[in-house]
Structure 1
Amino acid sequence: MTLAPFVQILGRGQGRARSMTRAEAEAAMTAMLADDAAPEAVGAILMLMRMKGETAAEIAGFATAARAALGDWPGPRPALDWPSYAAGRTRGLPWFLLSAKLVARAGVPVLLHGWNSHQSDAASLRAALPVIGLRPAGGPAQAAAQLAGDAIAYLPLERLSPGIMRLLRLRDTLGLRSCVNTVCRMLNPAGAPAAVQGVFHPPYRELQADAGALLGLDRLSVLKGGGGEFEHHPAKDIALFGLRDGRPWTGAAPQQLEGHRRLADAPCDPRALGAIWRGELQDPFAEAIVISTAALALNAAGCAAPDETARALWSERTRYAAA
């Protein structure tokens, strides 16, 4: 299918160009994921959308087509979808990984999926996974098996969908972020009923909440997190946007620690993740990041008493630190 009609919709010129409908966006993404998609047209669509700003209907249409291209999930659904697609070059260690482990220990299966442009750095998410006893899944089937056994899995985007990965990596050619980053956050490949999402730019909180509603997501929490990840800064008041029972919702994550701190002020050696998890190292700031982020994720999943549950799980973590 030619992409020319979609380029024309977006690029006709002042007064004539318009956003795509959800159906048009779904058809456009289906065509962009095809092996014979013209790269010039794909780049034109992505950059025209960047110039005008994407709509919730376009993101929902793109996500619907991208998810359909994945096929059926090969196992039980996780309870919580946790995308990780931020660059995060200034954010420090991925403390939210420990939060996800706490959520899994609460009996809430968590599927993490993503790709990070800084993944070659020593402090990247990929480097941190083995430190805390996790390993990337080789594909959806292995991720489903890990969820069944450990209630947590990390599925790299290149193993989930080489086609979507190809579109995401166009940033290297175009030099600019595209709406594919947002689509990846909305992908929810296993069809979890609840999701958490981080953003770097505040306007995307409402955009992603609106797209989630169009996609039929039941519960969603979106925050401006460290480097664009779903991670709470405990020394700040953070606004939350999202969905509860499929309807628009707003909330707040209040400040828990005094003083001006940056996420990068926490320990920066990846080994600190494992040491803090095992109780060999204490750092109040890092621990507050983990506990407060876990509580927000538990709330998104619909758990009762999320704050108390997160704190209790953290205090008990050394009993299962090796797991």
Structure 2
Amino acid sequence: MSLAEHVRTLGRGPGRSRSLTQDEARDAMQRMLAGDAAPQAEGALLMLLRMKGETADEIAGFAAAAQAAGPAFPPVDLDWPSYGAGRTRGAPWFLLSAQLVARAGHRVLLHGWNGSDPKVRQGLRAAGIGIASDPDAVARLLERDNIAYLPLEDAHPALFRLLALRDVLGLRSCANTVCRMLNPAGAAASVQGVFHPSYRDLQADAAARLGWQALSVIKGGGGEFERHPAKDIAVFGLRNGTRWEQSLAARCDVPRRLSDTETDLAQALSGAELPGFETEIVIGTAALALDTLGHPAPAALAAELWSHRPRHLAA
């Protein structure tokens, strides 16, 4: 089946078009990632999906094909995608949360691309998180630190090309969601942030189709997995492979936006005490990640790890 046939399935018109099955979506993504499909057909398919709205079957099929087309990575406990554009985010405090999860003994793989926003890549060094460009480098960092960051452009150039079509098409495509669902190391647990709340259900349903065991999806700062401590939040996802939802109460009563934080990561690790709002971002985000991994008292553990954190992590 050619990519043009998948375009016809989506675009035949009222009463005749339909969504792709999971197998059809997987075939379509395989063809796009192989690089031998006509660029006009790629653009048509991506924009038809955007107009229609992706289904969980389509996202599951796309993600399965993307993961299979990438290299094999060493096993990890927690998958942590980072694909927010950062327009409504301040400093990437979630990087410190990921470090706490790694210090709890879990192997964490962050991966991502944030467009023109440099804050995440710049924050990695301050947070003491190494960048790896291939599976061997990932393995070395995981062995040393229990955590690594994998740039999408190095990890999966073919998927990065599809993501970068946003600059050509002028609109977001399902490639953004596929990147969040990539899970390159096949971790049983994942934490994901979204900017638009409707994607929480979509990604949870797609993860269930892919056989994942644990997932937490929130509307987070700038589209990242980063909890706003002064707001009640709704968490969608999986526990033990079945759909799960939970509402969490605010951790503090401070009327601020995440982009209004008063300090940065380097200052937070310089030895000075972090202001309460920023502290609650880090602990609250880490607690939800630890909960995803099955810890019975995640909030207490996150607070303990933060209070005993090493200072001067920045190299």
TM-score, structure 1 length as denominator?
0.94
- Report the Cα offset of residue 276 of structure 1: 1.1
| In the alignment, structure 1 residue 198 sits paired with structure 2 residue 193 | yes
Q: Provide the rounded CA distance (Å) in 2 between the counterparts of 1:108 and 1:171.
A: 34
Q: Provide the rounded CA distance (Å) in 2 between the counterparts of 1:319 and 1:312.
A: 15
Q: Provide the rounded CA distance (Å) in 1 between the counterparts of 2:144 and 2:310.
A: 20
Partner of 2:145 in structure 1? 150
- For the 8 Å contact 1:113–1:156, the answer to whether it is kept is yes
Tell me which moved more, 220-229 or 83-92: 83-92
Residue-pair matches, total:
315
- Report the Cα offset of residue 108 of structure 1: 1.1
Which amino acid is the alignment partner of residue 300 of structure 1? Answer: T
2:304 aligned to which of 291, 312, 316 = 312
- Report the Cα offset of residue 274 of structure 1: 2.1
Q: Provide the rounded CA distance (Å) in 1 between the counterparts of 2:289 and 2:200.
A: 16
* Unaligned residue ranges in structure 1 (runs of 5+): none
Q: Provide the rounded CA distance (Å) in 2 between the counterparts of 1:278 and 1:303.
A: 29
Deviations 1:6-61 (A, max 9, x none): 00000001111100000000000000111222111000000000000000000000
* Unaligned residue ranges in structure 2 (runs of 5+): none
SS of residue paired to 1:216: coil
Partner of 1:290 in structure 2? 282
SS of residue paired to 1:135: coil
- Report the Cα offset of residue 90 of structure 1: 2.3
| In the alignment, structure 1 residue 216 sits paired with structure 2 residue 214 | no
SS of residue paired to 1:36: coil
Which amino acid is the alignment partner of residue 116 of structure 2? Answer: H
The 5 Å alignment of 1:254-265 reads 254-265=249-260
- For the 8 Å contact 2:9–2:17, the answer to whether it is kept is yes
- Report the Cα offset of residue 281 of structure 1: 4.2
- Report the Cα offset of residue 105 of structure 1: 0.3
Partner of 2:36 in structure 1? 36
Q: Provide the rounded CA distance (Å) in 2 between the counterparts of 1:71 and 1:156.
A: 13
Partner of 1:80 in structure 2? 78
- Report the Cα offset of residue 140 of structure 1: 2.3
| In the alignment, structure 1 residue 45 sits paired with structure 2 residue 37 | no
Deviations 1:284-323 (A, max 9, x none): 1111100000000000011221000000000000368468
TM-score, structure 2 length as denominator?
0.97
Partner of 2:162 in structure 1? 167
- For the 8 Å contact 1:278–1:318, the answer to whether it is kept is no
Q: CA RMSD in A?
A: 1.4
Partner of 2:233 in structure 1? 238
Which amino acid is the alignment partner of residue 191 of structure 2? Answer: V
- For the 8 Å contact 1:278–1:317, the answer to whether it is kept is no
Q: Provide the rounded CA distance (Å) in 2 between the counterparts of 1:319 and 1:87.
A: 29
Quote the sequence identity (%): 60
